[in-house]
Structure 1
Amino acid sequence: MKKLMIIAGILLIGLLTACTEEDQSNEEEQERVAPVEIAEATEGDLVVESSLFGRTAPNSMTPIMLQNPGEIDVLEVEDGDMVEEDDLIATILTPAGKQNVYAAKDGKIVNLEAEEGAMVSNSDPLAMIADMDTMKLQFNVTADMLSHIEKGDTFTAIINGTEYEAEVSKVGQMPNDTGLYAVEASVDNEEGDIVTGVVAQMNVPVSRVENTILVPTAAIVDESDETFVYIVTDDQAVKTTVTIKETQSEQTAIEGDIAEGDQIVVNGQLLLSDGTKVDIIEESGE
């Protein structure tokens, strides 16, 4: 009889201990607070852009031609010099006498390889004058992309990290050997910051989602075929299922039980589950 009472007492103590530990675990779970960063949901239009990549080139290239072949007596410029219209470029000794060669327009001297004393022909240019005040951006695009571009359109171009306004000056109507279409745009380069042959990126809008709820793309969580965000309500994370309408890098257009001004978690989602207490440590834009 005593043994039974002892065994019963041990079981009771074990049960009470287990209940106490479970209560403590639940209490600790309820008291856990996750640090998060948030941003507000907004309402507006989302413009989806596609980026084209090409190269810069002078707006025009004007050849410097000689009337007669001969020997360079005096060369007034070097490759890379800037000249103005009617500047003296060179004096050539020809069978017909001395010939002065002048710049036909403003620009930069390029492709000048001859030196004083060298014999030069009148069949090939002595050099070229490149118009660098305006630069061409040259792209090759697909037929689908061509449908979004018209001559005279203006788009944002990025060259060496700087944004420029680019105006489309040429839209090819026939594909080249690769099946792509040539597109050219021009940007102002009066400051001379753009050089020839560098990569240019031009962003072309291809679609627009109007009057939609926008959230930072960083807030979107994809898990087990479910897409959701966490809304902060009364210092708690509320898991909210959403449907993505369109995404453009930093912003995503969504549908769901979300309104303009709702606080959306953009950092710290991995620590959350529905109902987790949160501590807002930073709000995006502050």
Structure 2
Amino acid sequence: MKKLLAEKKLIVSVVLVLALIVLVVVLHGRKPSTAVARGRGMQTVPVQIVTVRLGDLSSVNTLTGMISANLETAVGAKVAARVQTVYADMGQAVHSGEVLAQLDPSDLEKQLAQTRAQVQVDQAQLQSAQDGTVNSLAQAKAALDQARAGYEQARADYQRYETLYNSGAATKQQLEQSRLKMDDGLSQLQAAEKAYNLAQSGDSVAVARAMLDKDQAAVAIIQQQLSELTITSPVDGVVASKNIETGEMVSPQTALFNIAQLDPLQVTVNVSDQVIAGIHPGTEAQISVPELGSKTFAGKVLRVSPVLDQASHAYPVKIQIANPGRNMRPGMTASVVFTGLNTRPGIVVPVQAVVETPQGSEVFTVDNGVAHMHMVQLGAVSSDKAVVLSGLKPGEQLVINGQNLLSDGTKVTVVQSADQAGTKGIIGRLKQGAGK
């Protein structure tokens, strides 16, 4: 809004310089050097005024917002593995279920083959236990020794990778893989200890069955991990970012792709409390995007926040926009105009009347030839109008030209009311006075 006001002030300042020069020449015998900014050093400051009236707030409903993706989803790996092939690139349109990348399955396939072989051993051992021909305690002890040795080796490997990682000689992915192997070894050791304790109790069949269940569960886990090596898009959309290259290691904590849904899009605007009552889900809006020229797009309100935003003193409203041609993109600025609003009257003033200061927005009124400053709170602002939420009352005489030269208490001369004539009429009148 400050940019809009600055543009208005530039136009007003040009008009005022011309008006002041002519007026001072008329009033002071062609001695224009007596006027200084904000009305100091002058007997009076010429101003133009307009009477404050209630207006139709629906005419000030052009709001600005930022276009964003309707949905943006991060896609990552569920298994630590090396990237085998990347199929998708940034900016590429993808469909739900489409393959984005393939991770190398060789390590998991080896683990699967080993675990399946162990399952066959477990099945034989269970059969032997059931036949009473297997010394369950000895087998459980051997399995326990094997599991303990495997865990100690995995723990030593993890400690070695941890030392290498801290010195910069190993990657985080390598450290993560060694930790997962250590955790898996610990699980196997705990299962073997449980099986050994059961064997000591004399229940060899239960021990064999427990070993078989454990390894069958491991087969299922590895098969699930193998299916997760194929990375697919969960939604229709466009690849907004790609953080993956062939040959590198990836871990479950890494986001490999971001998929943005570009049709539909959405834009969020802040709506003042004078207008919000007429807006609800389904309210239609016309959206224009400066980067796309004069073309307008149809939109509908998706959600209306029930809570006032304290920073903007307005209600956030989310609008959905169809984007079949994908001409609009996230990050573009959009102007939104709500259609068919029925709003109660409120104070609407020319935007050029507002002076922005470090303390806030201020305007000036005139009473008996004296300017009075008012701090005001603004609502919606369009290119030429602003809604005043507080600080002004209907019937007051508002300064719309010359306000940049005023201070509270400055004496003014009302050259002409804007209720009767425009700015061109003021200059013409001043020139006529100068020519007499």
TM-score range (shorter-chain normalised) is: 0.5 to 0.7
Corresponding letter in the other structure for 2:108: A
Counterpart pick for 2:80 among 60, 69, 77: 69
Residue of structure 1 equivalent to 2:211: none
Counterpart pick for 1:195 among 306, 329, 347: 329
How is 1:188-267 mapped onto 2 (pairs within 5 angstroms)?
A: 188-204=322-338, 205=341, 207=343, 224-225=416-417, 227-228=419-420
- In structure 2, how many angstroms separate the alpha carbons of the residues matched to 1:225 and 1:68? 75
- In structure 1, how many angstroms separate the alpha carbons of the residues matched to 2:244 and 2:88? 11
- In structure 2, how many angstroms separate the alpha carbons of the residues matched to 1:166 and 1:50? 15
Q: How far is 1:46 from its partner?
A: 11
Deviations 1:186-229 (A, max 9, x none): 111110100110101111346489xxxxxxx9xxxx96236347
Q: How far is 1:93 from its partner?
A: 2.3
User: Contact (CA 8 Å) 1:109, 1:127: kept in 2 or not?
Assistant: yes
- SS of the residue 1:96 aligns to: helix
How many residues are treated as equivalent by the alignment? 183
User: Contact (CA 8 Å) 2:57, 2:274: kept in 1 or not?
Assistant: no
Counterpart pick for 2:108 among 76, 82, 96: 96
Residue of structure 2 equivalent to 1:109: 239
- In structure 1, how many angstroms separate the alpha carbons of the residues matched to 2:252 and 2:418? 73
203 and 170 in structure 1: CA distance in 2 versus 1, 3 angstrom threshold: same
Residue of structure 2 equivalent to 1:256: none
How is 1:103-182 mapped onto 2 (pairs within 5 angstroms)?
A: 103-160=233-290, 161=293, 162-176=295-309, 178=311, 179-182=313-316
Segments of structure 1 that go 5 or more residues without pairing to the other structure are 1-44, 210-216, 230-265, 274-286
Q: Which has the larger radius of gyration?
A: 2
Segments of structure 2 that go 5 or more residues without pairing to the other structure are 1-55, 110-225, 346-383, 385-413, 430-436
Q: Using CA pairs under 8 Å that are at least 6 residues apart, name the structure with larger relative contact order, 1 or 2.
A: 2
TM-score where L is the length of structure 1: 0.55
Structure that is richer in strand per residue: 1
226 and 126 in structure 1: CA distance in 2 versus 1, 3 angstrom threshold: closer
How big is the alpha-carbon RMSD for the aligned residues of Structure 1 and Structure 2? 3.3
- In structure 2, how many angstroms separate the alpha carbons of the residues matched to 1:46 and 1:146? 11
Q: How far is 1:128 from its partner?
A: 1.8
- SS of the residue 2:61 aligns to: strand
Verify: 1:79 aligned to 2:74, yes or no: no
81 and 47 in structure 1: CA distance in 2 versus 1, 3 angstrom threshold: same
User: Contact (CA 8 Å) 1:154, 1:168: kept in 2 or not?
Assistant: yes
- In structure 1, how many angstroms separate the alpha carbons of the residues matched to 2:310 and 2:60? 27
Structure that is richer in helix per residue: 2
Corresponding letter in the other structure for 1:199: T
Q: What fraction of aligned residue pairs are identical, expressed as a percent? A: 18
Q: How far is 1:269 from its partner?
A: 6.5
TM-score where L is the length of structure 2: 0.37
Residue of structure 1 equivalent to 2:365: none
Corresponding letter in the other structure for 2:323: N
Q: How far is 1:175 from its partner?
A: 3.5
User: Contact (CA 8 Å) 1:49, 1:207: kept in 2 or not?
Assistant: no
- SS of the residue 1:227 aligns to: coil
How is 1:21-32 mapped onto 2 (pairs within 5 angstroms)?
A: none
- In structure 1, how many angstroms separate the alpha carbons of the residues matched to 2:271 and 2:317? 7
- In structure 2, how many angstroms separate the alpha carbons of the residues matched to 1:176 and 1:228? 40
134 and 271 in structure 1: CA distance in 2 versus 1, 3 angstrom threshold: same
User: Contact (CA 8 Å) 1:90, 1:102: kept in 2 or not?
Assistant: yes
